[in-house]
Amino acid sequence: MNNAENLDFLFHPRTIAIAGVSEKINKFSFGLRFLESLIQFGFKGNIYPISPTGGEIMGMKIYKSVKDIPGNIDFVISAIPARYTPQLVADAAEKGVRAIHFFTSGFGEIENIEGKRLQADIIARAKAGGIRVVGPNCLGLYCPSGGLSFNADFEKVSGPVAMISQSGGNAAHCIQEGNSRGVFFSKVISMGNGADLNESDYLEYLVHDDETQILTAYIEGVREGRRFLRALKSATKSKPVIILKVGTSESGAEAAVSHTSALAGSNQVWEGVLRQTGAIRAGSIEEMIDITLAFQHMLPPHKGNKIVITGIGGGASVILADEFTNAGLVLPKLSDKLRKSLIELYPSEAGRIFKNPVDLNNFEGPEIFFKTMKALDQCEEADLLAIHVAFDHFGLISIKDKEFMIGMYLKLIGQIKKEIKKPLAVILHSYSSIQMRKLAYDAGKELTAAGFAVFPSIQRAAIALSKFIRYHEERRTAGRIK
């Protein structure tokens, strides 16, 4: 049963008015940024600029008030100074607008009491006028299926991941970090102060959103603790929920109050809440994407927690073993049978390590490589596999030759996907020069598109896989999934 309010209307408006787009503004002006972003992103409905000065911009008529626009207006974006917002709300209510996103800041988050008064005022006016409010003090909505974006560079492709963010900057970073690594979004909500619609509203809605399979959130603090706990408990029953909870230090909590007026709450309480509800706690936006990638691509959902790792590099193998163990993962010992079958594949043992991690030391051609991967795929030791590429560990090879050699090796890794049955994580790490960074970036995108979870460092792979595996273990233990 779904008692949550259906917020679909927010994400699929037919018409949008933007307040704060005058003729004279410069290119970094915020109202203009919203206008251009929607047009370039491909919003299909009508868009209307508003400014008391009137005039024209980009060939479009600027209306002096939302009331003057012909036809219905579903959604208003406000990029005007805070002091003018009460009038905007009054006009919007008269017009029958359904929702306003206030990019405008200078409300509940500033120390000056006038900001809090103003916020209470616009929220009261909006309620009376039947208008829902996104923000204030935020970047608003990104929803590719609705043609909504505050930045035209974001991917136009929809994906299964939703994000609720109390920071616009972190929302923007999450979208770009995700997009650059093959993670695509259903809906991203930069919600700012959450003075009307808050984190609980969005969470309750997204649990039932068919477009969304994985939920993520950047939380500084919540307005309605009990309601949020209830919403979170309900959410984790059907979808993985990954939360970056910040403001846990004294300075961080103070910054959070000034940023979005959020009360952060103690770290202990949050640890308890997240554990109790089965939500996954991420340590950063990047880690949130790492964990998301594990959920998207470490398929089929594994049956156990044992990982066998392979790749090239002795020093890397030692670090892999440490980091994976420290993250709480289990690296099983290889049976003598498996060890023998691997050793037999190779011309010599010198420089190689036939333990776990398996250090192949050197590339011996595609045939031996495929046989190695198939042997690991069929072995009883491993529930999951990982392969790593340590770009800078190939110490004797020039950058130019590395581009060729590692490029070829990465292509082969891409080809294994269809040959093996176990979930396989790919770790591309230790790339320093601009050429290797570029190679790793491009390969990461290609391998993710081929269906792999790709991680940019050993530690980040270990942490993401550990949280992913613990999530499934806890659910198996709890008997919710067999």
Residues 91-110 binding a second copy (CB under 8 A) are 104-106, 110
Indicate whether 71 belongs to the interface with a second copy (CB under 8 A): no
Please say which residue, 198 or 260, places its beta carbon nearer to a second copy: 260
Which 378-407 residues touch a second copy, going by CB under 8 A? 390, 392-399, 401, 405
Binding-site residue total for a second copy (CB under 8 A)? 100
User: Would you count residue 78 as binding a second copy (CB under 8 A)?
Assistant: no
- Select 85 or 200, whichever has its Cβ closest to a second copy: 85
Q: Which residue(s) pair with 425 in the sheet?
A: 386, 453
Amino acid at 41: F
**Ranges within 35-54 binding a second copy (CB under 8 A):** 37
Q: Give the list of residues 6+ apart from residue 307 with CB closer than 8 angstroms, or none.
A: 324, 329, 330, 331, 332, 382, 383, 384, 385, 386, 465
Task: Please work out, in degrees rounded to the nearest 5, the angle formed at the alpha carbon of residue 179 by the alpha carbons of 177 and 183.
Answer: 95
Select the residue interacting with a second copy from 65, 179, 212, 372 (CB under 8 A): 179
Spell out the residues 6+ positions from residue 143 whose beta carbon is closer than 8 angstroms to its own: 11, 12, 149, 186, 187, 188
Nearer to a second copy, 31 or 278 (CB): 31
CA dist., res. 478 & res. 73, Å (int): 48
Contact with a second copy (CB under 8 A) among 139, 373, 379, 464 = 139
Shortest separation between residue 480's beta carbon and a second copy, angstroms: 31
Evaluated on CA atoms 406, 306, 376, 418, the torsion sign reads negative
CA-to-CA dists, residue 89 to 1, 92, 260, 328, angstroms: 34, 5, 21, 53
Site membership for a second copy, residue 205 (CB under 8 A): no
Q: How far is the CB of 103 from a second copy (least distance, A)?
A: 8
- Taking the complex as a whole, how short is the minimal distance between the CB of residue 234 and a second copy, in angstroms? 26
197 or 436, CB closer to a second copy?
436
> Residue 181 in contact with residue 159, Cβ under 8 Å?
no
Q: Whose CA is closest to 275, among 414, 439, 467, 94? A: 467
Asked whether position 281 contacts a second copy by CB under 8 A, the answer is: no
Q: How far is the CB of 391 from a second copy (least distance, A)?
A: 8
Kindly tell me which of 69 and 264 has the beta carbon lying closer to a second copy.
Answer: 264
Interface characters, 157-176, with a second copy (x: CB under 8 A): --------xxxxxxxxx--x
Q: Compute the CA torsion angle 16, 20, 21, 22 (nearest 10 deg).
A: 140
Q: How far is the CB of 150 from a second copy (least distance, A)?
A: 6
Under 8 Å between Cβ of 293 and 250: no
- Smallest separation, CB 137 to a second copy (Å): 7
Nearer Cβ to a second copy, position 109 or 204?
A: 109
Rounded CA-CA distance 162/211 in Å is 9
SS3 395: coil
Residue from 256, 273, 338, 379 that binds a second copy (CB under 8 A)?
Answer: 256
**189 sits near a second copy (criterion: CB under 8 A):** no
Q: Which of 131, 55, 61 has its CA nearest to residue 91? A: 131
66 alpha-carbon distance from chain centroid: 34
Residue type, 254: E
Among 25, 47, 321, 368, binds a second copy (CB under 8 A): 321
Q: At its nearest, how many Å lie between a second copy and the CB of residue 433?
A: 6
Of 14, 441, 470, 475, the one binding a second copy (CB under 8 A) is 441
Looking at 33, 125, 132, 422, which residue binds a second copy (CB under 8 A)? Answer: 33
Q: Which is nearer to a second copy, 130 or 169 (CB)?
A: 169
Does 355 sit near a second copy (CB under 8 A)? Answer: yes
First to last CA, the chain: 24
Q: Which of 180, 213, 305, 341 binds a second copy (CB under 8 A)?
A: 180
Q: 131, 93 in Cβ contact below 8 A?
A: yes
Q: What's the closest the beta carbon of residue 167 comes to a second copy, in angstroms?
A: 3
- Rounded Cα distance between 183 and 161, Å, is 8
Q: Contact, 293 vs 455, CB < 8 A?
A: yes
Task: Tell me if 324 contacts a second copy by CB under 8 A.
Answer: yes
Residues in contact with a second copy, shown as a per-residue x/- string from 112 to 131 under the rule CB under 8 A: x--x----------------
Instruction: Check binding of 34 to a second copy (CB under 8 A).
Output: yes
Q: What minimum distance in Å lies between the beta carbon of 232 and a second copy?
A: 20
Peptide bond into 136 cis (omega under 30): yes
60 lies in the site for a second copy, by CB under 8 A: no
Q: Any idea which residue has 């970094």 for tokens?
A: 28
Phi first, then psi, for residue 424 (nearest 5°) are -125, 120
Stretch that binds a second copy, among 10-18, 27-35, 57-65, 371-379 (CB under 8 A): 27-35
CB of 365 to a second copy, least distance (A): 12
CB 162 within 8 A of CB 212: yes
